[in-house]
A and B are shown apart, each in its own frame.
Chain A
Amino acid sequence: MNAGNIISCQEFCSFHKIESSFLINLQEYGLIEIQSVEGEDYIDNDILDDVERMLRLHYELEINMPGIEAIGHMLKRVDELQNKMQILENRLREYEDFSEL
């Protein structure tokens, strides 16, 4: 077990002062994966940013699980669109540059 890569759910929840049912809920909605090691639950360090984002959405903005799931899809879409826009902006710049030549 590499303590640098996973964090115990219990520790995570007590740090953020939330009930452990939150992470279980996220798992039930298929939004995160919880690993079980020797009877204790852990989440991967790599998904920490995502979990904390979902936590903020839930506790600060009062968004429920289906809402968090939908927002997750939308954010993925926004990310794809932003990438696409960047590519298009670069292409547009090529044309603008050439009109100066």
Chain B
Amino acid sequence: MDFIDYYSILGVPKDASENDIKKAYRKLARKHHPDLNPNDKEAHSTFQKINEANEVLSDPENRKKYDKYGKDWKHADEYEKAAQAGQKQPFTYSHARHAGDMFEGGDFSDFFQSIFGAGAQGRQYSSRRPAGLKGQDYKTELHLELRDVYKTHKRTLDINGKKIRITIPAGIENGQTIKIKGHGGPGINGGQHGDLYITFHILSDHEFKRVKNNLYKTADIDLFTAVLGGEILIDTLDGKVKLKIKPETQNASRVKLKGKGFPVYKQAGKFGDLYVTYNIKMPIKLNKKQKELFTELSEIK
């Protein structure tokens, strides 16, 4: 755990007046405030630090305690031991709220908690709301493989310690956000629950490339099959498929397999197409006999 210099975070000298601190905080907050930087994790974490610094320095009691602690920082080990003995329970807001996301005073540093205790958190801003109100919206991210979203499936998520089971529709796109109604924070005094917003990040697949609902892949065929024609077996996301290779197939030529592509989002039974590009493998390490035959072949006009 490192010492945090709250004065340098706010860019004020150690003897700064209350007013200087307030001004410095406001100036930085206007730049990094989450409300002004939607979906910007870096700005959010910077703001957390600024907010924490302000929480300490703007309160005379906290500031006094911090100044004293800062001086004794060489005894940090003892503080840490004491903190461990107290078994601090880290505050987790890993799944940030929607809209005023990551706005809560939560996620204060270990350093902060070691001075002020785990229970000491910043002001809760507007996280509590009056009676009869809709609960907070939650926001989270889910990273999935391309193959995971080929089929509609159910998945259990852990949202702020609560397990919920959701259905992930096939064909979801990278970056797409879906709203799960009623799975946000609890409503207060009969108010509706907030909603849960999940943004999907779909990883690229090494074998199948996806362009909207179509899939693309390459298939190797040997020279002889390409020249004389034949059959090959290829993998699709729907299982193996036998492909007829026409005689005199050219390298890099492409065939379309209708309906073997990716499922169309929320249109059950509808699929894109799969495009297979042939990659002709040239024979290598030819033996004497093969070389002779190739020579003979090349001389026939």
Q: Tell me if A53 and B100 are in contact (CB < 8 A).
A: yes
| Partner-contacting stretch, out of B32-40, B62-70, B161-169, B240-248 | B32-40
Expressed in whole angstroms, the minimum distance between the Cβ of A42 and any Cβ of chain B is 11
Q: Is the interface of B mostly helix, strand, loop or mixed?
A: loop
Query: B210: which A residues are within 8 A, CB to CB?
Result: 94, 97
Task: Closest B residue to A48 by CB, please name it.
Answer: B134
CA distance A24 to B172 in the complex (A): 42
Q: Mark A16-57, 1 if CB is under 8 A from B, else 0.
A: 100000000000000000000000000001001110110111
Contact of B190 among A4, A14, A53, A93 (CB under 8 A): A4
CA distance A89 to B103 in the complex (A): 28
Task: Closest A residue to B207 by CB, please name it.
Answer: A101
Q: Is the interface of A mostly helix, strand, loop or mixed?
A: helix
Query: A56: which B residues are within 8 A, CB to CB?
Result: 33, 35, 100, 103, 125-126
Task: Closest A residue to B31 by CB, please name it.
Answer: A61
Query: B211: which A residues are within 8 A, CB to CB?
Result: 94
Query: B277: which A residues are within 8 A, CB to CB?
Result: 101
CA distance A74 to B203 in the complex (A): 31
Query: A97: which B residues are within 8 A, CB to CB?
Result: 204, 209-210
Q: Tell me if B174 and A90 are in contact (CB < 8 A).
A: yes
Q: Mark B17-56, 1 if CB is under 8 A from A, else 0.
A: 0000000001001100101101100000000000000000
Query: A79: which B residues are within 8 A, CB to CB?
Result: 38
Q: Tell me if A49 and B26 are in contact (CB < 8 A).
A: no
Say yes or no: is A64 at the interface (Cβ < 8 Å to chain B). Answer: no
Contact of B130 among A12, A86, A87 (CB under 8 A): A12
Q: Tell me if A48 and B129 are in contact (CB < 8 A).
A: yes
Query: B191: which A residues are within 8 A, CB to CB?
Result: 4, 45
Which parts of B129-163 form the interface with A (CB within 8 Å)? 129-134, 137
Expressed in whole angstroms, the minimum distance between the Cβ of B198 and any Cβ of chain A is 15
Contact of B175 among A50, A63, A89 (CB under 8 A): A89
Evaluate whether A86 and B30 lie within 8 angstroms (CB atoms) in the complex, with A4-B191, A53-B100 already known: no
Q: Tell me if A57 and B35 are in contact (CB < 8 A).
A: yes
Q: Mark B79-109, 1 if CB is under 8 A from A, else 0.
A: 0000000000000000000111001000000
Evaluate whether A7 and B38 lie within 8 angstroms (CB atoms) in the complex, with A55-B126, A56-B100, A61-B33 already known: no
Q: Tell me if B38 and A48 are in contact (CB < 8 A).
A: no
Evaluate whether A4 and B187 lie within 8 angstroms (CB atoms) in the complex, with A56-B100, A98-B216 already known: yes
Q: Mark B212-232, 1 if CB is under 8 A from A, else 0.
A: 000011100000000000000
Contact of B100 among A16, A49, A101 (CB under 8 A): A49
Say yes or no: is B173 at the interface (Cβ < 8 Å to chain A). Answer: yes
Say yes or no: is B113 at the interface (Cβ < 8 Å to chain A). Answer: no
Q: Tell me if B216 and A101 are in contact (CB < 8 A).
A: yes
Q: Tell me if A49 and B98 are in contact (CB < 8 A).
A: yes
Q: Tell me if B38 and A82 are in contact (CB < 8 A).
A: yes
Q: Tell me if B99 and A53 are in contact (CB < 8 A).
A: yes
Query: A16: which B residues are within 8 A, CB to CB?
Result: 126
Query: B121: which A residues are within 8 A, CB to CB?
Result: none
Query: A60: which B residues are within 8 A, CB to CB?
Result: 26, 29, 33
Query: A50: which B residues are within 8 A, CB to CB?
Result: 99
Contact of A75 among B38, B137, B216 (CB under 8 A): B38
Q: Tell me if B132 and A3 are in contact (CB < 8 A).
A: yes
Known: A52-B99, A56-B33, A78-B38. 10 other contacts (CB 8 A): A4-B190, A7-B130, A7-B132, A45-B134, A52-B126, A57-B33, A57-B35, A75-B36, A93-B174, A94-B210
A selection of 19 A-B contacts at a CB cut-off of 8 Å is A4-B132, A4-B190, A7-B133, A11-B131, A45-B134, A50-B99, A52-B99, A53-B99, A56-B103, A57-B36, A61-B30, A75-B36, A90-B174, A97-B204, A97-B209, A98-B216, A101-B216, A101-B217, A101-B277
